[in-house]
Amino acid sequence: MAYSAEISRANPGCFLFLIDQSGSMSDPFGSGGTRRKADGLADATNKLLQTLVLKCAKEEGIRDYFQVGVLGYGNSVGSAFGGALAGRDLVMVSEIGNNPARVEDRTREREDGVGGILREQIKLPVWVDPVASGGTPMCAAFSRAKDILTSWVQQNSASYPPVVINITDGEATDGDPVAGAETLRGLYTNDGQVLLLNAHLSSNPSTPTIFPNSDATLPDQFARTLFKMSSELTPAMRTAAQSEGLPASEGAKGFVFNGDLVSIIKFLDIGTRPSNLR
């Protein structure tokens, strides 16, 4: 069965995040509120990197079950890592855990179980900063991802195929990205083709759509294009989505339209949850 290879240090997995850093990312989320999309996306990415590190942490240290990359695209296309990892395309998860650019103090709110809200101070490692400048060179981002992953699948042919998560708020400004997405999805290991998941952070106030199996309810052509570009969720990913109370019927694609920050984090977690990838 495809998409069943066990992730191990001998056969690691690979996750590549493509994050839109164009000027329009300074706009607020379409689902309401005033927070900039760039800030929410950076926080979501940093929280997912931290989650990957924690899931690989054992008594003796961080086991290298994954290689991870974060490419930003706006004024240019390149590594979005800061600090000691700046300029690196793919790094082992232990390098991520050991090299945050900095650690910030944040306030987190959570329910206290009796109807109130507790506010607590937490430490948040930061690897990726919010950026909002330039156009949306998505075609160039897919091309760069293809170059990176072509080498990876050749060197890791027995591994679970790479998972690419593209998060954008606008239409590509450097051409039609469909062909580039198809080329990227055409890369493969012995266990299956590359999985491409897309999240559209629209400023359109339309109802959020999560993991649809058709584009019938999507409000514009660009959302439909991103849906078309997305891979179908694997059976294990569908099961994980359903366990979170998210719709994921047969044929559901790895696509989210206009999700708020909570749904985006859930989307990313489903795309990167190690237990899914076995």
Q: What is the CATH number of the domain that holds 238?
A: 3.40.50.410
Is residue 189 in a domain?
yes
Is residue 82 in a domain?
yes
- Nearest to 200, CA basis, from 222, 178, 176: 222
Q: Which residues pair with 200 in a beta bridge?
A: 168, 257
Q: At what angle do helices 261-272 and 235-243 cross, to 10 degrees?
A: 140
Neighbours of 41 (CB within 10 A): 29
Spatial distance between the Cα atoms of 196 and 90, rounded to a whole number of angstroms = 17
Say what the pLDDT of residue 278 is: 37
Say what the pLDDT of residue 275 is: 55
Tens-digit pLDDT profile for residues 167-218: 998 789 999 999 999 999 999 999 999 999 998 887 776 778 889 999 998 8
Is residue 61 in a domain?
yes
Spatial distance between the Cα atoms of 57 and 63, rounded to a whole number of angstroms = 6
- Answer yes or no: are the C-beta atoms of 106 and 122 closer than 8 Å: yes
Is residue 48 in a domain?
yes
> Residue 235 belongs to what domain range?
13-276
Is residue 3 in a domain?
no
- Nearest to 20, CA basis, from 228, 178, 216, 173: 173
Tens-digit pLDDT profile for residues 225-275: 999 999 999 888 888 888 888 888 899 999 988 876 667 677 777 777 655
Is residue 2 in a domain?
no
Q: What is the mean pLDDT of residues 150-165?
A: 95
Is residue 5 in a domain?
no
pTM, 2 dp: 0.89
| Structural tokens at position 17 | 């995040």
Q: What is the mean pLDDT of residues 58-71?
A: 92
Is residue 143 in a domain?
yes
Q: Is the dihedral of CA 17, 23, 27, 30 positive or negative?
A: negative
Spatial distance between the Cα atoms of 134 and 57, rounded to a whole number of angstroms = 37
Spatial distance between the Cα atoms of 57 and 274, rounded to a whole number of angstroms = 13
DSSP strand pairing (66-73 vs 61-62): unpaired
Q: What is the mean pLDDT of residues 159-170?
A: 91
Q: Is the dihedral of CA 16, 18, 19, 21 positive or negative?
A: positive
Say what the pLDDT of residue 59 is: 84
Spatial distance between the Cα atoms of 95 and 130, rounded to a whole number of angstroms = 21
Counted domains in the chain: 1
| Structural tokens at position 23 | 């000027």
